[in-house]
Amino acid sequence: MLGRPRQDLNRADRILDAAADLLVRLGYRKVTIEDIAQQVGIGKGTVYLHWRTKQQLFEALLLREAITYIDKLLDALRGDPSTVLPHRLMAASFLIIHDRPVLRAMFTGDVEQLQTRMADSAMRSHELLATTSFLDLLIRHGLFRADVPNPAYALSAIHGGFLLLDNLDPAAAELDVQARADALAHVVQASFEPTGRPDPRTLAAAASEIMTVFENVIPPYREWIYGYQRTPESG
């Protein structure tokens, strides 16, 4: 990746910007490589120099969104270590996703086909590792109840449910976004967090470890996006 000319990286971002705009406006199934190339003002062949298939291009787009998402969580943790508390982190996540049209599109069902295929991607292992490490260290620091069965599933179900409800119930979407985030925080706190006020030193230590977990996810994502992914046969 480091050896790629800067103009190639800039062009890759312009392609991803166009793909993001078209994804939000048209939906994944309707967007073609030709549409993306026309919006950028380049030929289809140039797009294929970066990613061999439409699926790989949109995987790169979603991973770029994931980097932005993680960066915003890191900013929140640096600004206030108490953000590491599950209810605060999930509320922050909810607000970030609502502010990112591409991330919101991931929860409409339109990119379900892409998400299913990404489940087999090597990048998925990094995401799962981050989730497991995140919960393990919260439990170790006494910030997440150790008696919750299948904690990753339970937390994801609640978080995802709040995001999906806007599409399932129009009345829910009428609530202010901050009010919805506050409701999510209340449910997460009541369901998963021990009672009592955590020690500030515990919060600082946990936040530092969480930031390391999140920071370690970014380099492989960035390499996949801009490293022109190789197949096993090509080395």
Three-state DSSP class for 214?
Answer: helix
Q: For 97-155, how does the pLDDT look when each residue is reduced to its tens digit (9 = 90+)?
A: 999 988 887 765 555 556 555 555 555 655 665 677 889 999 999 999 999 999 999 99
> What sign has the CA pseudo-torsion 134, 112, 104, 191?
negative
pLDDT confidence of residue 164: 84
- What is the domain partition of the chain in residue ranges? 65-221
Which string of DSSP letters, residue by residue, matches 167-196? Answer: HH-HHHHTS-HHHHHHHHHHHHHHHHPPSS
Q: For 190-203, how does the pLDDT look when each residue is reduced to its tens digit (9 = 90+)?
A: 999 999 999 999 99
Q: Structure pTM?
A: 0.85
The percent of residues in the chain predicted with pLDDT above 70, rounded, is 83
Cα–Cα distance measured from residue 49 to residue 156, given in angstroms and rounded to the nearest whole number? 36
Helix spans in 99-235 (H): 101-105, 112-118, 122-140, 151-168, 170-173, 177-192, 200-226
Q: For 44-77, how does the pLDDT look when each residue is reduced to its tens digit (9 = 90+)?
A: 999 999 999 998 999 899 899 999 999 999 999 9
Average pLDDT over the chain, rounded to whole?
Answer: 86
Mean pLDDT to the nearest integer, 160-175: 81
